[in-house]
């Protein structure tokens, strides 16, 4: 995948993208990320008329164009977890680093509803919808808000990818499931190559320069499509979506009902970190890029991507823990 800005006005950008099949795309976006036109191929076919694999490549090209605008022009063009399905890899990387630094006690406090759901998946911690009281829950979602320097996100993500930091942290959680988090910032600093010094008064919801400041209201999805909210939290609007006017919308946890109970906070922490790695994988795959090596994992990530992998005949089953995946079909992540 390659991209370049063809032209730019006060309101719009025209982005040229060369996809993995060497087909050219000409994409016009405004500065809110709204797509105004998209033609592809030498005959300038309208992308809306495409089907099958061509349509998938066209959608990946639009996402990559939006991501290119974000990295080169600081335009927040991607509709995170919305029409674009994916989110910003930089935000997920920062969230994963913070999550890995939390104590089991903080995990239990921040994710109380999720923890209750996963300890006994059959229990109704959140009541099922009145229209179908016998429904089984299928997925629980919760937003995470971060406090940190937005301008540092690209550099942080690039360093995380280069050093395979998230994979290293996942191994660390296996080795030290009950470790003290006030020692982990020093380990994080070593992995990321920063000069952060350990602080004995370190806040237990923070990693170097970053912290989880709030969570959205957890929402439980049920068979049949009904959704019911869990306990309210201060950071969410009426729909349960966390408000990131002041903070960074780091991630939206979208965890399906587990096959086996997860009974400890440390186990839930590992489960959450694996889930964020799967979401990172989905972001890169959704842009036609090969995921970083420590995010070439299988399992459920972004819910709408999971639905695509499950139903589309040409998509690999990235969500399936037992699937055999060919990671070589996409371009490597470019230097932007």
Phi, psi dihedrals of residue 35, rounded to the nearest 5°? -85, 125
* Structure confidence by residue, pLDDT tens digits, 235-283: 444 444 455 567 899 999 999 988 888 888 889 999 999 999 999 999 9
Please tell me the distance from the alpha carbon of residue 86 to that of residue 243, in angstroms, as a whole number. 18
Q: Which residues contact 87 (CB under 8 A, 6 or more apart)?
A: 78, 80, 81, 251, 252, 279, 283, 302
* Structure confidence by residue, pLDDT tens digits, 169-227: 888 888 877 665 556 555 655 554 444 333 433 444 544 567 888 888 889 898 888 88
Entry pTM: 0.87
Q: Which residues contact 19 (CB under 8 A, 6 or more apart)?
A: 1, 25, 57, 60, 61, 288
Q: What is the 3-state secondary structure (H, E, C) of 117-149?
A: HHHCCCCCCCCCCCCCCCCCEEEEEEEEEEECC
Please tell me the distance from the alpha carbon of residue 72 to that of residue 42, in angstroms, as a whole number. 26
- Sign of the Cα torsion 104, 159, 149, 289 reads negative
């Amino acid at each position: 995948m390659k991209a370049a800005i063809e032209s730019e006005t006060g309101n719009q950008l025209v982005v040229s993208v060369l996809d993995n099949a060497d087909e050219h795309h000409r994409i016009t976006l405004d500065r809110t990320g709204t797509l105004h036109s998209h033609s592809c191929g030498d005959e300038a076919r309208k992308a809306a008329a495409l089907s099958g694999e061509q349509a998938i490549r066209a959608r990946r090209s639009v996402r990559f164009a939006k991501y290119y605008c974000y990295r080169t022009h600081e335009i927040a063009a991607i509709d995170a977890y919305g029409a674009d399905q994916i989110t910003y890899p930089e935000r997920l990387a920062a969230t994963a680093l913070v999550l890995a630094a939390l104590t089991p006690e903080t995990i239990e406090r921040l994710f109380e509803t999720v923890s209750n759901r996963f300890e006994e998946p059959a229990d109704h911690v959140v009541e099922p919808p009145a229209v179908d009281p016998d429904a089984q829950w299928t997925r629980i979602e919760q937003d995470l808000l971060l406090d940190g320097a937005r301008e540092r996100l690209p550099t942080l993500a690039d360093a995380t990818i280069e050093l395979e930091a998230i994979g290293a942290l996942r191994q660390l959680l296996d080795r030290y499931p009950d470790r003290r988090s006030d020692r982990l910032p020093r380990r994080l600093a070593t992995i990321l190559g920063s000069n952060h010094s350990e602080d004995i008064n370190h806040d237990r919801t923070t990693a170097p320069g970053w912290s989880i400041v709030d969570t959205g209201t957890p929402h439980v999805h049920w068979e049949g499509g009904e959704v019911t909210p869990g306990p309210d939290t201060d950071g969410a609007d009426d729909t349960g979506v966390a408000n990131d006017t002041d903070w960074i919308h780091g991630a939206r946890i979208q965890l399906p009902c587990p096959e086996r109970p997860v009974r400890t906070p440390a186990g839930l922490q590992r489960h959450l970190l694996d889930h964020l790695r799967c979401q990172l994988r989905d972001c890169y795959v959704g842009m036609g890029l090969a995921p970083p090596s420590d995010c070439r994992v299988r399992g459920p990530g972004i819910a709408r991507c999971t639905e695509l992998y499950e139903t589309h005949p040409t998509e690999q089953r990235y969500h399936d823990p037992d699937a055999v995946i060919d990671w070589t079909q996409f371009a490597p992540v470019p230097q932007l």
